[in-house]
Amino acid sequence: MNVLVTGGAGYIGSITVETLVARGHTVTVLDNLSTGHQGAVHADAAFVRADLRDAGVVGEVLEAGGIEAVIHLAAYSLVGESMREPIRYFGNNVVGTLTLLEVMVERGVKRLVLSSTAALFGTAECIPIPEDAPVRPASVYGETKYLIERVLHRLCETAGLGFVTLRYFNAAGASATYGEDHRPETHLIPVALQVALGLREGISIYGEDYDTSDGTCVRDYVHVLDLAEAHLLAVEGLRPGEARAYNLGNGAGFSVREVVEVCRRITGHPIPERVVARRPGDPPVLVADPSRIQRELGWTRRHAELEAIVRSAWDWHRAHPDGYRH
């Protein structure tokens, strides 16, 4: 299949492209490199550096690549930043996606896999969270993904678009070649590993008075290789006119302190911590119920243990202490 991966120079995108190429698909990456990296573009993928809101370029890419399906991962994704810069997030995430969808409909490309988010659910009442849990995004970022999902449903009804939304919980880990290099880095595991590498003095724990086993937030960490496999299964099984949504996670939660302790064991570094104020909008617990995608697509978590997730990330960060900088 000829597949376009928007945001294919990013963390999840690069490993998804790697998985697609290994399966024998022909991949084109479209990325403006605002958060992605040239060094994360797979050598066997065609690469176009462009903004998704440039409809002319998007149309040319779809035509030149004979694109049959799109995996859409191009989005700004920082919750706190989205609350400070809402117009920027609506512009990039929503307007960019509308441009992509308009061109896809015009060109007759009727398969889309969307990178969505657990941020749709806000503070969930039911843990683990099923796909039909109430959607109550507490951030602009979550709201942008909710709006996109609504548009997709309408296009499924009116234009025969087939789509799968993959609602990620916490992606973590690395492949042997590609890993996590955000600037600035805000995710717990790479931040802790940067401390172990001597790039930071310590980590901040945002609140220790939550109603959890040790007072810190509990999150569901899913290995990025398993996440990439879910994209592969979704795009291969998708048909025009279908609408599906899947929650992607481990199905088990780990507290912030549990994660940090695993990072200490794997790295052999003390990783100093300090407790600071809670972050607004942080729910106490976010854990996925991934049973639907397991049942319907046969998805399995091959790298479910937290130790394996952290070890893969540690191996990549030790080999790339400066990320994709050369």
Whether the Cβ atoms of residue 242 and residue 171 lie closer than 8 Å to each other: no
Residue 117 phi/psi, 5° resolution?
-155, 150
Q: Which of 141, 146, 178, 210 is catalytic?
A: 141
The DSSP secondary-structure symbol of 75 reads: -
- C-alpha 42/C-alpha 10 separation (Å) is 11
Whether the Cβ atoms of residue 262 and residue 306 lie closer than 8 Å to each other: yes
221 counts as catalytic: no
The DSSP secondary-structure symbol of 129 reads: B
Cβ-count burial 11-20 (b if 16+ within 10 Å, e if not)? bbbbbbbbbb
- C-alpha 317/C-alpha 194 separation (Å) is 8
Q: How far from the centroid of its chain's Cα atoms is residue 18's Cα? A: 15
- C-alpha 166/C-alpha 160 separation (Å) is 19
Helix (H) or strand (E) holding 48: strand 46-49
Burial label for 252, CB within 10 Å (0-12, 13-18, 19+), is middle
Whether the Cβ atoms of residue 170 and residue 158 lie closer than 8 Å to each other: no
Amino acid at 63: E
Half-sphere exposure of 6 (CA within 13 A, CB side): 30
Whether the Cβ atoms of residue 18 and residue 35 lie closer than 8 Å to each other: no
Whether the Cβ atoms of residue 8 and residue 16 lie closer than 8 Å to each other: yes
Residue 67 phi/psi, 5° resolution?
-65, 130
Catalytic machinery residues: 141
